[in-house]
Structure 1
Amino acid sequence: MNSRRLKVAFVAAAMTLAGLAAAGPAAAATVPATAAVQERQSAVPVDFVDLPAGALVADGEQHQVTVTYRNDTSADRTVAPQLLVESPDAGPFLTPSDVIVEQRTAHGCWRPVETASQTGTLFTDLTGAQRTLHAGETLTQVYRITVVDPDAQGTVQPRIALY
């Protein structure tokens, strides 16, 4: 549990720093300090909804993972689907080259999804996956995971970030 919290805290901090780095010094200089703080706060998830995890199957075949979340609140909610591919606690640790992650587009095509790595956990970007989910709407994303390294071990943990 503490390991997961540490990972969540690291991802949140990394996402904030990545956003600041992408903005550049010139953009940061033109934004009032209070507006910049508010922007950073809204870009950081306040909670995650963990969905059922599954084993990372290292057979070279393509395996689909469906991430579904329904906004049961009466207000719009900003959400982002994310996949974590976690290494065993004692290693061997995963690298982005161990797996291929793809996402099905609205047109039924597959597009590659980049993964980053921290301490053997691979994760998909949250900032590009953010969307507003209106009251009563359901978000469904389909991913395809192919393990390239036959010795890779781990767990696929889909989740939804809540903002």
Structure 2
Amino acid sequence: MSSKNSRLRVALVALVVAVAGLAAAGPAAAAAQQAPAAVSTALPEQAPAVLTGFVDLPTSPLPADSRKHRFTVTYRNDSSVDQVVAPQLLVESPDAGPFLEPSDVRVERRTATGCWEAVQLGSQTGTLYTDLSTAQRTLHAGDTLTEHYRLTVLDPAAEGTVHPRVALYG
């Protein structure tokens, strides 16, 4: 057998193993690992917005009474240009602990249809937070963003602060 045929056979086996591995990993992994097309006729994508700062809204103590409490995040774009923004709700632990866990609270967001949907919380160094990447939207000049959240404390011993804010992108 020639070395050329041997290299071709090795390359073919490697390709089959890679395809089988992607199939076993599932469609999400396969989609994430797809090579970009060699030729693209699509328009270039805009660069992702870069976080430039936050507008902090008034904080309040974490209501640890097992009732549902509403929080509203409101921000008005007073500039003359469109602005990318993202509402966020932080639930901050006391500085000295004990630190809150996502299972200590339930956060829901009101949808455009008026229904409440559960919001997954991230956690970092005792602060629980709603995701910014999925909350980004373009706020037109002069428009106001209003996002309604509902928070229920599930652990009666939980302590902390609720801190609504708006992320600004430039």
State TM-score, norm by structure 2.
0.74
1:25 Cα deviation from its structure 2 partner: 4.3
* Partner deviation per Cα, 1:26-70 (whole Å, 9 max, x = no partner): 46x669xxx89x83xx34411100000011011000000000000
How many pairs are equivalent?
A: 135
Consecutive unaligned residues in structure 1, runs of 5 or more:
1-20
What is the root-mean-square deviation in Å for CA atoms of aligned residues? 2.1
Gaps of at least 5 residues in structure 2 are: 1-28, 39-43
Q: Taking structure 1 as reference, are residues 74 and 146 closer, same or farther at Cα in structure 2, changes over 3 Å only?
A: same
Tell whether the 8 Å contact from 1:43 to 1:127 is kept in structure 2 after alignment: no
Contact residue 70 and residue 138 of structure 1 kept, 8 A: yes
Q: Name the SS for the 1:128 alignment partner.
A: coil
Query: CA contact under 8 A between 2:107 and 2:119: conserved in structure 1?
Result: yes
Partner residue, 2:19: none
Distance in 2, matches of 1:134 and 1:45, equals 17
1:147 aligns with 2:156: no
Runs of 4+ in 1 over 6 A off after TM superposition: none
Question: Which one of the candidate residues 24, 36, 41 is aligned to 2:32?
Answer: 24
What is the aligned partner in structure 2 of residue 18 from structure 1? none
Deviations 1:77-134 (A, max 9, x none): 0000001100000000000000000011111110000001001100000011000000
- Which structure: greater helix fraction? 1
Distance (Å, rounded) in 2 between the aligned partners of 1:122 and 1:110:
19
**Cα distance in 2 for residues equivalent to 1:80 and 1:50:** 12
- Whether 1:77 and 2:83 are equivalent positions in the alignment is yes
Contact 2:89 2:164 in 1 (8 A): yes
Structure with the greater alpha carbon radius of gyration: 2
2:65 matches 1:59: yes
In 2, distance between residues paired with 1:30 and 1:61?
A: 52
Q: Which residue of 1 aligns with 2:166?
A: 160
Percent identical among aligned pairs is: 65
